[in-house]
Amino acid sequence: EVRLEESGGGLVQPGGSLRLSCAASGFTFSSYYMYWVRQAPGKGLVWVSQIGGDGSDARYADSVRGRFTISRDNAKNTLYLQMNSLRDEDTALYYCARDHGGSGVEYWGQGTLVTVSS
């Protein structure tokens, strides 16, 4: 059974940092692109970042480029999102998700909530 479990969310002041983690199990982690997707309260889904199975091909939404860094540790089956210079508008539920052969996102975690507020 595929499982994705996010952690690391919490309350942080504007300008602060957080590192999200996503523990994956039930599949060959290194074989899949992985994503971070977020949903702000009352808003829609927003793609944040992606990374290739071997850690290459890291991409970012314009709104987070230069502030967020995606990475992965295939030995630990874990995906990360380092978030720096956080802003109020980064407040959201952050989902970790697994690619479906380049055609969609097939598996999602339950999400971890990030709240940026003073």
Partner 1 sequence: DIVMTQSPDSLAVSLGERATINCRSSQSVLYSANNKNYLAWYQKKPGQPPKLLIYWASTRDSGVPDRFSGSGSGTDFTLTISSLQAEDVAVYYCQQFYTTSRAFGQGTKVEIK
Q: How far apart are CA 39 and CA 111, in angstroms?
A: 9
Judged by CB under 8 A, which of 3, 19, 76, 100 binds partner 1? 100
CA gap 97, 14 in Å, rounded: 26
Q: Is 50 in the site for partner 1 (CB under 8 A)?
A: yes
Half-sphere exposure of 108 (CA within 13 A, CB side): 14
The β-bridge partners of 35 are: 50, 97
Does 46 interact with partner 1 (rule: CB under 8 A)? yes
Selected from 12, 20, 22, 35, the binder of partner 1 by CB under 8 A is 35
Which residues contact partner 1 (rule: CB under 8 A)? 35, 37, 44-47, 50, 57, 59, 61-62, 95, 97, 100, 102-106, 108-111
